[in-house]
Amino acid sequence: MIKCIFTLDYEIYGNGTGSLNDLVYEPTERLLQVFDKWEARFVNFVEVSEFEQIEHSGTDAAIELVKRQVKDMHRRGYEIALHLHPQWYNARFAQGHWELDYTEYNLCTLPQPRIAEIVDRSVNYLGQMVDDRQFGPISFRAGNWLFQPTENAARELSRRGLRIDSSVFKGGLQRNHQLDYRPARKNGYYWTFSSDVNVPDSKGEWLELPIYTEMVAPWKMATSKRMGMGTSPASVKSSVQKKTPVSLRTKLNRAFDFLRPGYPLKFDFCRMTLAELTSMMERVILQDRQDPDSLKPIVSIGHSKDLNDLETIDAFLSFLHQKKIPVVTFENIFANVAEVIQST
Ligand SMILES: [Zn+2]
């Protein structure tokens, strides 16, 4: 029983550059047209801290369009979920660009009172964006996928009603940020957890629905589509590196992360070709035939700033329709998954 969940990271570039209209509003309008055509819904991971800062500083008039879009999506059954890059909260706008506070890059490593403050502020602002008093997000994705060490951040997020995380990508490793999702490779398609997102805990109140990955040889990462994306986070990172010297240790860590026999290729509906998307799903379908009764939520990721090939997304939704694979949101399957957990 396969269910496919599309998730969109809704944000400008990670270094604070780019316009809301070009990287958020317009591309998402085009994606909504495709999903409306197939009567499908996706999960919108709204990176709230940048929107709050941009609104308060008045640096981009398109913030009004973005707020209207989020509110409209909520009304139409798209799931509005919380995504957080905390480096925005102490950001300053000076000489035409944003200076972000990289000492607050990982929510999980901040002092507990600061985590609590950031969680409250972000959930409150998201509530204002959707303009619905009843609303509270249930799903979370950490900035740069950093949900380690998990315990303190999970506690504060659950205090505000969040229950589902989708930050893990199995096999993930970033030595510079102490991110290590290699232990999660032995877990199932989803699991409950409490104080460590890598470790299943049958009594945990959190549910992990990881971004689907396949381990591939590093050279397979370099398809012409991924390499041709001028808007890739990798190209932004390299432009940032030119301004700030990067230590040899940092560079070596990145090289060691990449030089592994197997590298986790994320199921990315913006960066993969149609042939890659369908063949990855065909392999899941083969696994499902061995065990058709168990639920297999397959989470795909995309970024609003990478939405420049809508034809592929349209064709992939057509493929899922032909294969009778439902496209759902986390909210849609939450009750279902809770039942499955209780029965195991
Ligand atoms: Zn992000």
DSSP assignment of 119-187, as one string? Answer: HHHHHHHHHHHHT-TT----EEEEGGG---S-HHHHHHHHHTT--EE---BTT-EEGGGTEE-SGGGGS
Report pTM. Answer: 0.91
Angstrom distance (rounded) from CA 178 to CA 166 = 18
Q: 12 C-alpha vs ligand 1 centroid, how far in Å?
A: 8
Using a 10 angstrom Cβ sphere, with 0-12 exposed, 13-18 middle and 19 or more buried, the burial of residue 256 is exposed
Q: 138 C-alpha vs ligand 1 centroid, how far in Å?
A: 17
SS3 state of residue 246: coil
Q: 47 C-alpha vs ligand 1 centroid, how far in Å?
A: 6
| Average pLDDT along the chain | 90
Residue by residue, DSSP assigns 33-53 as HHHHHTT---EEEEEHHHHHH
Q: 315 C-alpha vs ligand 1 centroid, how far in Å?
A: 26
Question: Which residue(s) pair with 268 in the sheet?
Answer: 301
Q: 83 C-alpha vs ligand 1 centroid, how far in Å?
A: 7
Q: Rounded mean pLDDT of 256-276? A: 86
Whether pLDDT at 79 is above 60? yes
For residue range 113-137, list pLDDT tens digits in order. 999 999 999 999 999 999 988 899 9
Q: 85 C-alpha vs ligand 1 centroid, how far in Å?
A: 6
Whole-number pLDDT of residue 13: 93
Q: 84 C-alpha vs ligand 1 centroid, how far in Å?
A: 7
Q: 339 C-alpha vs ligand 1 centroid, how far in Å?
A: 31
Q: 145 C-alpha vs ligand 1 centroid, how far in Å?
A: 8
Whole-number pLDDT of residue 240: 44
For residue range 145-167, list pLDDT tens digits in order. 999 999 999 999 999 999 999 99
